[in-house]
């Protein structure tokens, strides 16, 4: 049998998920696929082979599971297997082969794609079918406990729930999803991988989470979802300046995300584009998770401007490298791609990778 789950690109709503805010990602047509077959009779191990990372890994189901050393790719499937065992599921031994077209460490959530495809496979192997929210949360827990990355819920939710031709407006507090159609053929989303890799487990992400929690505590709210621009103005002297700037990003980004969803519903692309640029500035200046290479792509895109068919552009994902997402006029795609590619390489000496994706299906492919 095989299972397949997509990566994602976040159109807007960055670093808002762990603040109970809103996010607006879409699944992309880049997938992680796992093919599996039962192990020889009596063998109680899961043998995993991946075309990426360092080859093979074995999970011994006869032993208590514990995380592999930090950075090992096996931690993602391992954490998901542990989640199923904790539910009392009995997977039994099998051999699995993993392949992926989601670039690793590119900010397109290759890790969530691997977790969710492992979970999808285990549902089929064990007959323990999870509801979508439970499944996304089990995968998030795998990432926390086994990969050591204190991520929010966005990546796993979009990998589970992505729907063709739709963005997902997710309320990360109520976990209620709203599918926002995006079918206008005159625009496209162009993803540029800076090919600079980020290290989200490296501490920058966890530190920002802690700063947001501190801001919420000082403001006297349950999370920054409940804070307003007015509250932040009043609290200027009470909060450490860096913490205050982090909170300014989150509060304004939640607002931008809701406005952008409104813009997509109305096909008001110039409004969506402006919100994307504003999101980038806020992530660069207040949240400080951008980097020179991401800024370079956004500046190049801005230089091409609306006259050349670029409507908006921003970094996407956790930051510290990875990808940008640009909203562009579809007819100008070839010229825009060529210009970004050439100018980025000239500025940084690095070859970028560019691709276009329509909102893809998060659909599961399971074949017996
Ligand atoms: C990473 C995390 C997500 C989210 C983004 C930032 O991708 O996995 O939960 O916090 O960063 O928006």
Sign of CA dihedral 96, 97, 103, 106: positive
Largest CA distance in the chain: 67
Give yes or no for residue 318 CB within 6 A of ligand 1.
Answer: yes
Give yes or no for residue 18 CB within 6 A of ligand 1.
Answer: yes
Q: In the annotation, is 2 catalytic?
A: no
279 is written with which tokens? Answer: 């999101």
Atom of ligand 1 nearest to the CA of 18: 10
Q: What is the pLDDT of residues 299-350, one digit of tens each?
A: 999 999 999 999 999 999 999 999 999 999 999 999 999 999 999 999 999 9
How far is the C-alpha of 333 from the C-alpha of 339, rounded, in Å?
10
pLDDT on residue 359: 79
The residue ranges of the chain whose pLDDT is under 50 are 363, 368
Give yes or no for residue 17 CB within 6 A of ligand 1.
Answer: yes
CA of 153 to the centre of ligand 1 (A): 8
Give yes or no for residue 154 CB within 6 A of ligand 1.
Answer: yes
CA of 317 to the centre of ligand 1 (A): 6
Catalytic residue among 60, 131, 155, 226: 155
pLDDT on residue 197: 80
CA of 151 to the centre of ligand 1 (A): 6
Which of 8, 110, 139, 152 is the best mutation target for the ligand 1 pocket, counting ligand atoms within 8 Å of the beta carbon and taking the most?
A: 152
CA of 125 to the centre of ligand 1 (A): 29
CA of 231 to the centre of ligand 1 (A): 25
Q: What is the pLDDT of residues 101-142, one digit of tens each?
A: 888 777 888 899 999 999 999 999 999 999 999 999 999 999
Which of 148, 206, 318 is the best mutation target for the ligand 1 pocket, counting ligand atoms within 8 Å of the beta carbon and taking the most?
A: 318
Give yes or no for residue 300 CB within 6 A of ligand 1.
Answer: no
Helix (H) or strand (E) holding 35: strand 22-38
312, 273 Cβ separation under 8 angstroms: yes
Strands 45-50 and 94-100: parallel
Helix (H) or strand (E) holding 92: none
pTM of the model: 0.95
How far is the C-alpha of 56 from the C-alpha of 47, rounded, in Å?
7
List C-alpha distances in Å: 82 to 68, 89, 139, 145, 168.
Answer: 12, 10, 10, 10, 28
């Amino acid at each position: 049998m095989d299972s397949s789950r997509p990566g994602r690109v976040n159109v807007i709503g960055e670093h808002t998920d762990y603040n109970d805010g809103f996010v607006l990602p879409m699944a992309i047509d880049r997938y992680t696929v796992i093919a599996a077959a039962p192990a020889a009779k009596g063998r109680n191990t899961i043998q995993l082979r991946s075309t990426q990372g360092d080859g093979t890994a074995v999970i011994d189901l006869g032993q208590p599971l514990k995380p592999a050393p930090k950075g090992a790719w096996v931690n993602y499937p391992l954490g998901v297997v542990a989640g199923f065992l904790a539910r009392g599921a009995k997977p039994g031994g099998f051999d699995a082969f993993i392949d992926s077209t989601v670039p690793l460490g590119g900010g397109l959530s290759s890790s969530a794609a691997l977790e969710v495809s492992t979970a999808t496979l285990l549902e089929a192997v064990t007959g323990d079918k999870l509801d979508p929210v439970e499944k996304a949360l089990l995968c998030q827990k795998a990432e926390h406990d086994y990969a050591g990355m204190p991520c929010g819920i966005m990546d796993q939710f979009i990998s589970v729930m992505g729907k063709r031709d739709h963005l997902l407006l997710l309320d990360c507090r109520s976990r209620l999803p709203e599918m926002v159609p995006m079918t206008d053929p005159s625009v496209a989303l162009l993803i540029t991988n800076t090919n600079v890799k980020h290290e989200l487990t490296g501490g920058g992400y966890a530190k920002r989470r802690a700063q947001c929690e501190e801001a919420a505590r000082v403001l006297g709210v349950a999370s920054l979802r409940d804070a307003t621009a007015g509250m932040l103005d009043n609290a200027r002297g009470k909060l450490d300046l860096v913490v205050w700037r982090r909170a300014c990003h989150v509060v304004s980004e939640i607002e931008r995300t809701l406005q952008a969803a409104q813009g997509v519903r109305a096909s008001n692309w110039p409004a969506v584009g402006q919100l994307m640029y504003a999101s980038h500035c806020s992530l660069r200046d207040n949240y400080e998770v951008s980097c020179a290479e991401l800024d370079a792509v956004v500046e190049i895109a801005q230089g091409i401007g609306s006259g050349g068919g670029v409507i908006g552009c921003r970094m996407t994902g956790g930051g510290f490298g990875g990808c940008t997402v640009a909203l562009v006029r579809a007819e100008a795609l070839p010229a825009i791609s060529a210009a970004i590619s050439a100018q980025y390489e000239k500025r940084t000496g690095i070859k970028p990778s560019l691709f276009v994706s329509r909102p893809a299906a998060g659909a599961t492919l399971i074949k017996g």
